[in-house]
């Protein structure tokens, strides 16, 4: 049954092109292939990642990039090479003849005689279900930060008569709604606008911004969460680089020179992990003069976050296990001491500081009950507590600020430059 397939494969790797005997083909970088002057008909080998695929009736075009050049190498192949695995982001090794390109777009192109997929790039959803969490909500989530309240414009002066019977706010996070849904779909995510009524005109804050948030049931350690976070950052970035290389290169070339190398440095290294306690020690031992003195039990400021990333060689770094007193009621108690912490995690990245925030959630009924009672929130969050009464599971999740992510990969300094209609204090144009 499989005979035809193996025969076809054999034929592919030895097509009608002249066969140059047994000498192994010379390995060329994309840069060298593009700059080649002679076309002696010798076979060469190029390795890299697929940046675009154009599949026509008789011919298959691939663009391959290996980071040696901003430009990609065009590979021209017989359509019998076409294969589902030749997709954006897959890594390949192509052997063939380097020839003058008939197109003016490039000098040389590679006529493929053999294409081998080294690593697949299967862009699946990893089993996450997309949930539309609501914008208008009656819960004020963390009880922290300034909220926007919502009323019909005709009623704005009589807020005692609420349209929804209760005060209603613009969401600051879809987390609690995702926790509800993760109790049915196991792995869920949302991607939508969130809101903060903070009086800030900084380069890091917007009143309306986008978040990717994920919630995962049956997660028992921060390690599991961090793996998903690092995977999301790296996969999304690879996809962006594959799908719109020109746009990214425009930013890297004209707005943020050197950003391409900084980004590659982030992608090729494993992200680091330090505890909040270690982070505070590092900051204390630093010779830098911080505006805010670092101290255990106090939140990290942006200046601290940026210092920590630099200290870690400009590799993104996870900071874990924050003081319980600093974090909201739903984060899981580490039951440690004497410095009492929760299983929280932030990811700090070069240039931006905090990009992700996440935690294991307190899934234990009695722990959560006590935390709510201590915060005076028992009545408001009765429904949330009930989630721990019926089929509770260990779970956790995180959120990533989408505009900050764009700042990080594009190297753009002001958050207002990565969103088409920025909203902030004193400004809501159009």
180-209: contacts with a copy of itself (CB under 8 A): 180-181, 192-193, 195, 197, 207-208
Q: Which residues pair with 274 in a beta bridge?
A: 319
Query: Which secondary structure element, helix H or strand E, spans residue 249, and what is its range?
Result: helix 245-254
Question: Least distance from C-beta 302 to a copy of itself, angstroms?
Answer: 23
Q: Which residues pair with 398 in a beta bridge?
A: 214, 358
Q: How far apart are CA 65 and CA 50, in angstroms?
A: 7
Under 8 Å between Cβ of 297 and 321: no
Which of these ranges, 18-26, 211-219, 390-398, 416-424, lies near a copy of itself under the rule CB under 8 A? 416-424
275-314: contacts with a copy of itself (CB under 8 A): none
Q: Which residues contact 303 (CB under 8 A, 6 or more apart)?
A: 290, 291, 292
The answer to whether residue 167 forms part of the interface with a copy of itself (CB under 8 A) is yes
Q: How far apart are CA 377 and CA 416, in angstroms?
A: 35
Under 8 Å between Cβ of 197 and 220: no
Would you say 250 or 325 has its CB closer to a copy of itself?
250
Nearest to 361 by CA among 190, 210, 225: 225
H helical segments located in 294-394:
302-311, 365-375, 382-386
360-389: contacts with a copy of itself (CB under 8 A): 383
Would you say 12 or 364 has its CB closer to a copy of itself?
12
Range list of β-strands (E), 293-417: 317-323, 341-349, 353-360, 395-401
Would you say 109 or 346 has its CB closer to a copy of itself?
109
Determine phi and psi for 130, rounding to 5 degrees. Answer: -80, 120
Q: Which residues contact 56 (CB under 8 A, 6 or more apart)?
A: 79
The answer to whether residue 117 forms part of the interface with a copy of itself (CB under 8 A) is no
Tokens representing residue 143 in the block: 């009880």
Choosing from 103, 164, 284, 374, the residue that interacts with a copy of itself (CB under 8 A) is 164
- With 0-12 / 13-18 / 19 or more C-beta atoms within 10 angstroms meaning exposed / middle / buried, residue 362 is buried
The answer to whether residue 8 forms part of the interface with a copy of itself (CB under 8 A) is yes
Question: Least distance from C-beta 49 to a copy of itself, angstroms?
Answer: 19
The answer to whether residue 118 forms part of the interface with a copy of itself (CB under 8 A) is no
65-94: contacts with a copy of itself (CB under 8 A): 78-80, 82-84
Question: Least distance from C-beta 148 to a copy of itself, angstroms?
Answer: 5
Q: How many residues bind a copy of itself (CB under 8 A)?
A: 71
The answer to whether residue 390 forms part of the interface with a copy of itself (CB under 8 A) is no
DSSP string, 110-122: EEEEEEEEEE---
233-272: contacts with a copy of itself (CB under 8 A): none
Choosing from 149, 227, 243, 288, the residue that interacts with a copy of itself (CB under 8 A) is 149
Tokens representing residue 426 in the block: 């004193």
12-31: contacts with a copy of itself (CB under 8 A): 12, 15-17
Question: Least distance from C-beta 428 to a copy of itself, angstroms?
Answer: 4
Which of these ranges, 38-46, 151-159, 218-226, 259-267, lies near a copy of itself under the rule CB under 8 A? 151-159
Would you say 8 or 373 has its CB closer to a copy of itself?
8
Question: Least distance from C-beta 78 to a copy of itself, angstroms?
Answer: 6
Would you say 7 or 298 has its CB closer to a copy of itself?
7
Question: Least distance from C-beta 271 to a copy of itself, angstroms?
Answer: 28
Nearest to 273 by CA among 227, 237, 232: 227
């Amino acid at each position: 049954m499989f005979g035809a397939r193996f025969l076809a494969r054999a034929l592919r790797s030895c097509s009608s092109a002249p066969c140059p005997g047994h000498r192994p083909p010379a390995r060329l970088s994309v840069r060298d292939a593009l700059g080649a002057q002679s076309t002696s008909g010798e076979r060469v080998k190029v390795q890299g990642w697929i940046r675009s695929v154009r599949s026509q009736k008789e011919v298959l075009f691939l663009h391959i990039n290996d980071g040696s050049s901003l430009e990609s190498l065009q590979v021209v192949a017989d359509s019998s090479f076409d294969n589902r695995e030749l997709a954006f982001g897959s890594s390949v090794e192509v052997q063939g003849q380097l020839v003058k390109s008939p197109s003016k777009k490039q000098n040389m192109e590679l006529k493929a005689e053999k294409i081998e997929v080294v690593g697949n790039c299967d862009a699946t959803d990893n089993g996450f279900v997309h949930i539309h969490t609501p914008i208008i909500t009656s819960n004020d989530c963390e009880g922290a930060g300034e909220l926007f309240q919502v009323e019909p414009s005709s009623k704005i002066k009589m807020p005692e008569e609420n349209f929804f019977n209760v005060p209603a706010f613009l969401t600051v996070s879809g987390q609690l709604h995702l926790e509800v849904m993760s109790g049915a779909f196991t792995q869920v995510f949302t991607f939508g606008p969130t809101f903060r009524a903070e009086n800030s005109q900084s380069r890091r804050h917007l009143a309306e911004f986008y978040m990717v948030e994920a919630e995962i049931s049956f997660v028992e350690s921060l390690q599991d969460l961090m793996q998903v976070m690092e995977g999301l950052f790296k996969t999304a970035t690879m996809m962006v680089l594959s799908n719109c290389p020109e746009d990214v290169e425009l930013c890297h070339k004209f707005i943020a020179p050197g950003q391409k190398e900084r980004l590659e440095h982030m992608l090729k290294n494993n992200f680091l992990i330090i505890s909040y306690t270690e982070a505070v020690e590092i900051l204390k031992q630093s010779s830098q003069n911080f505006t805010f003195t670092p101290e255990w039990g106090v939140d990290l400021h942006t200046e601290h976050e940026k210092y920590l990333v630099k200290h870690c060689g400009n590799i993104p770094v996870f900071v874990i296990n924050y003081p319980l007193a600093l974090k909201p009621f739903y984060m899981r108690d580490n039951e440690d001491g004497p410095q009492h912490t929760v299983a929280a995690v932030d990811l700090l990245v070069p240039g931006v500081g905090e990009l992700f925030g996440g935690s294991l959630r307190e899934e234990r009924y009695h722990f959560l009950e006590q935390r709510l009672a201590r915060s005076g929130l028992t009545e408001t969050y009765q429904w949330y507590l009930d989630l721990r009464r019926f089929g509770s599971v260990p779970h956790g999740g995180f959120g990533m600020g989408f505009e900050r992510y764009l700042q990080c990969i594009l190297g753009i300094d002001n958050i207002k430059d990565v969103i088409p209609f920025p909203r902030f204090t004193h400004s809501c144009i159009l």
